[in-house]
Structures are given as C-alpha cells and as structure tokens.
C-alpha cells in the first residue's frame, strides 16, 4: 500500500512537537502514528482496501474504524488517503449488508473463520467471527460521519450505504426485544472459556424490555454477563444521531431520519432509566451492564466503548456529574479490573490476565481527563511501560511491563498517536 504523503508529513510534525514537550515519548510518536497504514492496510486484487487488526488477519468493523480515525482529519488534503478511506467505507457497507451480526470479516470467501467450532443461525465464507456487538455497527457510522463532514464527498451516499443505515436501525430495533424477535444465536463449541460463547443455547441470559438494544458481546469480544451493555448503548445513541445527519445530507429520506432519531431517543431513555445505580461510595453512577430486571454488573473494561470513554464517545461531557462519579468508580479499586502496581496503575480487562492494564485504557484516561497533572502522570506511565519496543501493547503487567500481550496491536498504537496529537 502506497503511504499517503500527508501522513508522513503529519507523523514527522508529531515527532517534532513531542520531542519538544515530552522527549521520552518522541521515539514512539512517528511509528505509532504510521503503524496502521504501514502494517495493516492492504489493497486487494479488486482495488479495494482491507484493514487487519495487526496480529489477526481479519477486519474488525470496530477496530479498523478506530485504527484509521487519526487519519480522517487529513482526508481532504491527500487524494491517496481519501481514496483509501472511501474504499474502507465501501467495505463497511458490503459487510454490514451481508450480515449485521458479524464483528469481523475475511478479505475473500474462505473455507473457515476464526474457529471451526462456531455455530450460529447464518454462515458465510466472508465471516471471520460472528460475535454480535452493538459497537461494531456503530463504528461505521462514526467513521462515515467524520469522513463526510471533513471531505463533503457525497459519492459515499450510494443505495448500499442507505441500506446499511436501514439495516443497522432494523437490527437495533429487533434487539430491543431480543428474546422475542431476534434470530441470532451463537455457540462456540469447546470454547476455551465461558466468555468465548453465549449461554442458554447461544441466546444469552434473559433480559427485560428497557428501550436499550441487546448486545451478545463486549468490544473485547468477550460475552456480556447481562445483555444491555451500557457503553455500547451510549455509542448507539450518538451513532444513530450521526446517521440521521448523514441521511439528511445524502438522501433527504425523512422516514429513515426519523427512525434513527426516535430509536436514539428510546435507547437514551432506557440508559437513563435502567442503566444507573446509586453507589454507596460514589453516588449515582452508570453500570457497565444490566439485564433490565434489576441486576447490574459494576465494572469497566479498558476496551472502548467503555464507561471511562463516555465523553470520547460524545454521549455526555467530561464535566457531567454522573460521568464524574462513574469515572471515580472506574479509576478505583471498586472496579474489579483496576490495578495498581510498582510500574503503573490503570484499567485492565477480563480479556487479559489479572493485574494487566491496557495502554488503550491509559490513552482513554488522558483523552477524557480534565486534570493536567493526571494526564502527565499517565503520559509518564506510558513512556515507562512499552518495554523498549516504542509501540503500544494490549495489556502489560503493572509490576513488570516486560510482560505484555499482543506486540502488534495497531488500534492501541493509533489511539496513542491520536491522544498525543491533542497533548503536544
């Protein structure tokens, strides 16, 4: 893949600015910024662009959108870059219209995906993995919205793109009443852990109607304990509002626009009515998951969407009092996946071993912080925990950063570069 000239220029500029303000991070700046384009974007024989996550040869809807996000502001300054991003949007429309319940896809029709032990109600050689995640459908809407409002490139507004929006709305509506209406189920036979499959014959635990939309899996690709994943529903509210703006710009389809906005309103109402808890220490906070029957999962996961990422997602401002209460909970040992050690402290994930925290979590803490001292503390931790690689990792041990998972994880690299761009 030809490297767009604008990205090389911006990477060099970021390196210079970082060297002036945070010299310990300067060796990371350029290579983390370019990592996605250098190592994960390929042009297929048909001329389209395909984006792997790094060490897994498949294209996740969520991950690919996050990996390319730092490049979107420059889309109108370089035709090569614009062409790549436009092609990725076309990929999203194809994949979502093929199957809105899949989270990751192949570059071509293959005999199998991630596991030959996967069972579900739909199968295709295009599918790498069929773990239904609400945020996977939100990501193409966020991405396309930013692309269009940077470039005003109306050529994305094809009939296939309109059908994608329609399919996302239909899927979210169906999953408001998952137990009664959804065709979706997923079982991974001989799964390595219970979190790698769905209980109750692949349908997940029962949920009550709340107005929110059900998700089988988290952005970690681990199964939800309770089916209403609050951060992903928050992302859905914002994504549907962005979709309404895209419909307005490209189609003047009033019915579809209203469908997006009314569904966003229902989901938001469900979050506020069913998704908060009065915590004895922190006051009113958002739960991570609920089932609508009064059961709550109080935790946060370093993967985004997360509770920590609420302002980053655009659902509430960083000053919002309920967010601030939630943030204090997330960044405390009341959160079962917050760890503090000799080398660092921060949010980890049940997806990685105990006492491993995530660079994505540290970057998100900086991106959502109102406290400069907190930001600088996190930046210092990042500078000390990349194990000499000058790249971000998935998780690393809070006492020994030389122990880490996924040395090639492009999402973490470009989120770091995106964060750094705002700090220098």
Cβ-count burial 251-282 (b if 16+ within 10 Å, e if not): eeeeebbebbbebbebbbebbeebbbbebeeb
Assign 3-class secondary structure to the chain: CCCCHHHHHHHHHHHHHHHHHCHHHHHHHHHHHHHHHHHCEEECCCCCEEECCECCCCEEHHHHHHHHHHHHHHCCCCHHHHHHHHHHHHHHHHHHHHCCCCCEECCCCCCCCCCCCEEECCCCCCEEECCCCHHHHHHHHHHHHHHHHHHCCHHHCCHHHHHHHHHHHHHHHHHHHHHHHCCCCEEECCCCCHHHCCCCCCCCCCCCCCCCCCCCECCCCCECCCCEEHHHHHHHHHHHHHHHHHHHHHCCCHHHHHHHHHHHHHHHHHHHHHCEEEECCCEEEECCEECCCCCEECCCCCCCCCCCCHHHHCCCCCCCHHHHHHHHHHCCCCCCCEEECCCCEEEECCCCCCCEEEHHHHHHHHHCCCCHHHHHHHHHHHHHCCCCCCCCCCEEECCCCCCECCCCEHHHHHHHHHHHHHHC
Of the candidates 379, 355, 344, 353, the one whose C-alpha atom is nearest the C-alpha of residue 365 is: 379
Per-residue pLDDT of the chain (424 residues; tens, 9 = 90+): 789 999 999 999 999 999 999 999 999 999 999 999 999 999 999 999 999 988 889 999 999 999 999 999 999 999 999 999 999 999 999 999 999 999 999 999 987 778 888 899 999 999 999 999 999 999 999 999 999 999 999 999 999 999 999 999 999 999 999 999 999 999 999 888 899 999 999 999 999 999 999 999 999 999 999 999 999 999 999 999 999 999 999 998 999 999 999 999 999 999 999 999 999 999 999 999 999 999 999 999 999 999 999 999 999 999 999 999 999 999 999 999 999 999 999 999 999 999 999 999 999 999 999 999 999 999 999 999 999 999 999 999 999 999 999 888 889 999 999 999 999 8
Sign of the torsion formed by the C-alpha atoms of 21, 25, 31 and 37 = negative
pTM of model > 0.85:
yes
Q: What is the CATH number of domain 40-336?
A: 1.50.10.10
CATH 1.50.10.10, the chain: domain bounds: 40-336
């Amino acid at each position: 893949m030809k490297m767009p000239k604008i990205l090389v220029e911006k990477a060099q500029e970021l390196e210079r600015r970082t060297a002036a303000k945070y010299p310990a991070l300067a060796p990371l700046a350029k290579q983390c910024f370019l990592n996605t384009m250098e190592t994960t974007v390929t042009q297929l024989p048909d001329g389209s662009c395909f984006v792997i996550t790094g060490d897994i040869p498949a294209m996740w809807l969520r991950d690919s959108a996050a990996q390319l996000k730092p490049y979107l502001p420059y889309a109108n300054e370089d035709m090569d870059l614009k062409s790549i991003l436009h092609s990725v949007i076309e990929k999203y429309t194809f994949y979502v219209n093929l199957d809105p319940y899949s989270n990751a896809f192949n570059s071509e029709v293959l005999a199998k995906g991630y596991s030959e032990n996967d069972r579900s109600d739909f199968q295709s050689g295009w599918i790498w993995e069929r773990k239904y995640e609400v945020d996977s459908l939100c990501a193409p809407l966020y991405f396309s919205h930013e692309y269009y409002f940077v470039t005003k490139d109306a050529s994305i507004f094809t009939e296939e793109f309109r059908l994608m929006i329609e399919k996302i709305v239909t899927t979210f509506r169906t999953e408001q009443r998952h137990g009664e209406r959804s065709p979706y189920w997923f079982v991974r036979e001989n799964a390595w852990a219970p979190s790698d499959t769905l209980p109750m014959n692949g349908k997940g635990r029962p949920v009550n109607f709340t107005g929110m939309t059900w998700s089988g899996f988290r952005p970690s690709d681990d199964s939800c304990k309770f089916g209403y994943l609050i951060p992903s529903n928050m992302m859905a509210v914002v994504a549907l509002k962005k979709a309404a703006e895209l419909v307005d710009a490209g189609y003047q389809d009033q019915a579809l626009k209203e469908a997006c906005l009314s569904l966003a309103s229902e989901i938001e109402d469900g979050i506020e009515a069913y998704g908060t808890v009065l915590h004895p220490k922190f006051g009113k906070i958002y739960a991570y998951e609920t089932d609508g029957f009064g059961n709550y999962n109080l935790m946060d996961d370093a993967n985004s969407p997360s509770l920590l990422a609420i302002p980053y997602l655009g659902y509430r401002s960083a000053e919002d009092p309920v967010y601030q209460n939630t943030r204090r909970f997330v960044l405390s040992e009341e959160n079962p996946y917050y760890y503090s050690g000799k080398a660092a402290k921060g949010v980890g994930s049940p997806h990685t071993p105990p006492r491993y925290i995530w660079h994505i979590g540290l970057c998100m803490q900086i991106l959502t912080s109102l406290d400069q001292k907190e930001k600088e503390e996190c930046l210092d931790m990042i500078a000390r925990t990349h194990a000499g690689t000058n790249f971000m990792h998935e998780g690393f041990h809070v006492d020994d950063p030389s122990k880490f998972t996924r040395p090639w994880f492009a999402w973490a690299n470009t989120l770091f570069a995106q964060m750094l761009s705002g700090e220098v």
